[in-house]
C-alpha cells in the first residue's frame, strides 16, 4: 500500500522492524479486533492497538465511567464521568490515532448478541470482569473459530492465555465450569493494584499484534501467570483436554447460554 | 563502476534524515521484485553507514556506494530477500 507522509512517520518504528515492515503495518491497518470491556484491561489493550494502527476496534461495554474507575482504566478521564465507557474509549483512541475506527457497542454481551458482534472481527480480546461473560466469550470464540486473547487480574495477580480454537486448549480445557456465583470475590470486593491491568493488558495487546502479523510464538497452550508483589512470571503448559465439554472429542456444549450473573456483593 | 549496474528503481531521499532514510528505502524495496536494484540518492552522511547496515541485516545485497557531489551519495542495493509475511 502507499502510506501517507504522516503514516510513514507515525509507524516508522514498526516499519524498521524486520518482522513488521510496511507489509506488517498494512496488515495492522486492515485488522479488526473486538475488545470485551473498556475497563482496566480493555482500556490498555485498546490504547496500544490504536497506537499501533489496528484499523478497526470494536468496544463492547454497557457501563458508564465512574470516578472509582480512573485508578486503572486509562482510556477514561474526569471529564468523561457519566459517559458510556465505549464512547469514552472511542474518543480517546480516535484522538490518539485518526487512522483507527472505533465501533462502540453500548450493550451487555449475551448469548443472543455475541455471535452477531464477534462475526465482524478477526480477533477477540477478553477484558471482562466476571466469570459468566468469560465463559460466554470462550464458548462463542470456539464456535466461531475466532482467536481469543483471554486475561484476568485480581489484587496483585494476573493471567493471560491466547486461544486458537481447534489448535490447542480453550478456557474450558483448563476450568470446565465457572466457580459458583459468590465463591470468588470480584475486583469490586477484593481490590486491584491499578498498574497490574496495565502490565497484563500490554501483554494482551502484544499477543493480538503478534497474531495479526503471524510472528513469534503466542501463549498458545500455555498460561502466563504474574505475581506483581514478587514481580515473578510463571508459564504453565496447558494441554488441550480431549474430554473438554466444549472443544473435546465429544463435546456436550453445543449452544451458547447466559450463565447466572449474580454478583456476590448482591447476594 | 556503476555503469554495469542496471537500476530498476531510483529513490531520491535528499533532505531526509535517519531513521527515515532507511524507512523510505525499505518501503521502496518492499514494492520491488527479487533481483531488482534500488538506487538511493542521499545527502545525509550517517545514512551511508546506516542504510547499508540495515539493508544487509534484512538480507539485501549492498552493491556499491558512490559519491556524486560534495554532499550527494548514491547507494545501490539489490533485493535478495522477500519479507512479505503471509
* CATH fold label, A12-237: Rossmann fold (3.40.50)
**Mean pLDDT of the residues in chain B:** 94
Shortest distance, CA B33 to any CA of chain A (angstroms): 14
> Is residue A204 within 8 Å of A257, Cβ to Cβ?
no
For residues A142 and A30, what is the distance between their CA atoms, to the nearest angstrom? 23
Reference A136, options A246, A248, A263; nearest CA is A246
Contacts of B27 (CB under 8 A, 6+ apart): A3, A8, A15, A22
Give chain B's count of helices (H) and strands (E).
2, 4
> Is residue A164 within 8 Å of A136, Cβ to Cβ?
no
**Mean pLDDT of the residues in chain A:** 94
Split at pLDDT 50, 70, 90, the class of A188 is low
For residues A52 and A211, what is the distance between their CA atoms, to the nearest angstrom? 13
Shortest distance, CA B6 to any CA of chain A (angstroms): 25
> Is residue B80 within 8 Å of B34, Cβ to Cβ?
yes
For residues B76 and B1, what is the distance between their CA atoms, to the nearest angstrom? 11
Calculate what percentage of chain A has a pLDDT beyond 90: 89
B2-78: CATH number: 3.30.110.40
pTM for the model stands at: 0.94
- Check if A182 contacts B (Cβ < 8 Å): no
For residues A27 and A122, what is the distance between their CA atoms, to the nearest angstrom? 12
The pLDDT value given to residue A183: 74
**pLDDT at residue A167 above 90?**
yes
For residues A99 and B54, what is the distance between their CA atoms, to the nearest angstrom? 28
- For CA atoms A194, A127, A98, A18, the dihedral sign is positive
Question: Do residue B26 and residue A3 have CB atoms under 8 angstroms apart?
Answer: no
Residues A101-135 have pLDDT tens digits of 999 999 999 999 999 999 999 999 999 999 999 99
Reference A100, options A67, A75, A117; nearest CA is A75
**pLDDT at residue A67 above 50?**
yes
The pLDDT value given to residue B85: 57
> Of B19, B20, B85, which has the smallest distance from its Cβ to A24's Cβ?
B85
Residues A207-247 have pLDDT tens digits of 999 999 999 999 999 999 999 999 999 999 999 999 999 99
Domain segments of chain A as ranges = 12-237
**pLDDT at residue A261 above 60?**
no
The cell numbers describing A42, all together, are 480493555
**pLDDT at residue A267 above 60?**
no
Give A261 or A92, the one with higher predicted confidence. A92
The pLDDT value given to residue A264: 47
The pLDDT value given to residue A65: 98
The pLDDT value given to residue A257: 86
Question: Do residue B20 and residue A12 have CB atoms under 8 angstroms apart?
Answer: yes
Split at pLDDT 50, 70, 90, the class of A260 is low
Split at pLDDT 50, 70, 90, the class of A180 is confident
- Check if A22 contacts B (Cβ < 8 Å): yes
Instruction: Name the residue in chain A with its Cα closest to that of B56.
Output: A18
For residues B42 and B59, what is the distance between their CA atoms, to the nearest angstrom? 21
The residues of B carrying an active-site annotation are: 18
For residues A224 and A211, what is the distance between their CA atoms, to the nearest angstrom? 17
Residues A239-251 have pLDDT tens digits of 999 999 999 999 9
What's the number of CA atoms in the CB half-sphere (13 Å) around residue A44?
A: 25
For residues A214 and A106, what is the distance between their CA atoms, to the nearest angstrom? 31
Split at pLDDT 50, 70, 90, the class of A179 is confident
Low-confidence ranges of chain B (pLDDT < 70): 1-2, 85-86
Amino acid at each position: 500500500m502507499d502510506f501517507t507522509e504522516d503514516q510513514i512517520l507515525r509507524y516508522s518504528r514498526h516499519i524498521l522492524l524486520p518482522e513488521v515492515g510496511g507489509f506488517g503495518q498494512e496488515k495492522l491497518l486492515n485488522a479488526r479486533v473486538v475488545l470485551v470491556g473498556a475497563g482496566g484491561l480493555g482500556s490498555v489493550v485498546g490504547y496500544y492497538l490504536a497506537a499501533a494502527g489496528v484499523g478497526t476496534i470494536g468496544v463492547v461495554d454497557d457501563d458508564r465511567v465512574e470516578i472509582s474507575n480512573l485508578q486503572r482504566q486509562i482510556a477514561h478521564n474526569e471529564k468523561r464521568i457519566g459517559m458510556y465507557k465505549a464512547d469514552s474509549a472511542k474518543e480517546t483512541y480516535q484522538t490518539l490515532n485518526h487512522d483507527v475506527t472505533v465501533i462502540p457497542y453500548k450493550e451487555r454481551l449475551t448469548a443472543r448478541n455475541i455471535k452477531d458482534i464477534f462475526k465482524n472481527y478477526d480477533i477477540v480480546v477478553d477484558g471482562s470482569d466476571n466469570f459468566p461473560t468469560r465463559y460466554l466469550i470462550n464458548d462463542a470464540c470456539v464456535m466461531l473459530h475466532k482467536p481469543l486473547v483471554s486475561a484476568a487480574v485480581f489484587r496483585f495477580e494476573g493471567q493471560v492465555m491466547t486461544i486458537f480454537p481447534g489448535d490447542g486448549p480453550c478456557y474450558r480445557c483448563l476450568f470446565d465450569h465457572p466457580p459458583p456465583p459468590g465463591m470468588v470475590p470480584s475486583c469490586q470486593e477484593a481490590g486491584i493494584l491499578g498498574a497490574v491491568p496495565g502490565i497484563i493488558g500490554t501483554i494482551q495487546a502484544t499477543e493480538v499484534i503478534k497474531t495479526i502479523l503471524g510472528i513469534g510464538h503466542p501463549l498458545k497452550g500455555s498460561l502466563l501467570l504474574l505475581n506483581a508483589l514478587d514481580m515473578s512470571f510463571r508459564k504453565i503448559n496447558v494441554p488441550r483436554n480431549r474430554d473438554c465439554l466444549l472443544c473435546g472429542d465429544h463435546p456436550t456444549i453445543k449452544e451458547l447460554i447466559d450463565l447466572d450473573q449474580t454478583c456476590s456483593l448482591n447476594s | 563502476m556503476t555503469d554495469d549496474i542496471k537500476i530498476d528503481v531510483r529513490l531520491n531521499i535528499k533532505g531526509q534524515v535517519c531513521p527515515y532514510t532507511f524507512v523510505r528505502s525499505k518501503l521502496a524495496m518492499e514494492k520491488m521484485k527479487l533481483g531488482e536494484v534500488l538506487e538511493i540518492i542521499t545527502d545525509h552522511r550517517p545514512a551511508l553507514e546506516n542504510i547499508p547496515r540495515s539493508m544487509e541485516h534484512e538480507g539485501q545485497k549492498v552493491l556499491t556506494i558512490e559519491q556524486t557531489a560534495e554532499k550527494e551519495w548514491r547507494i545501490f542495493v539489490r533485493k535478495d530477500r522477500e519479507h512479505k509475511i503471509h
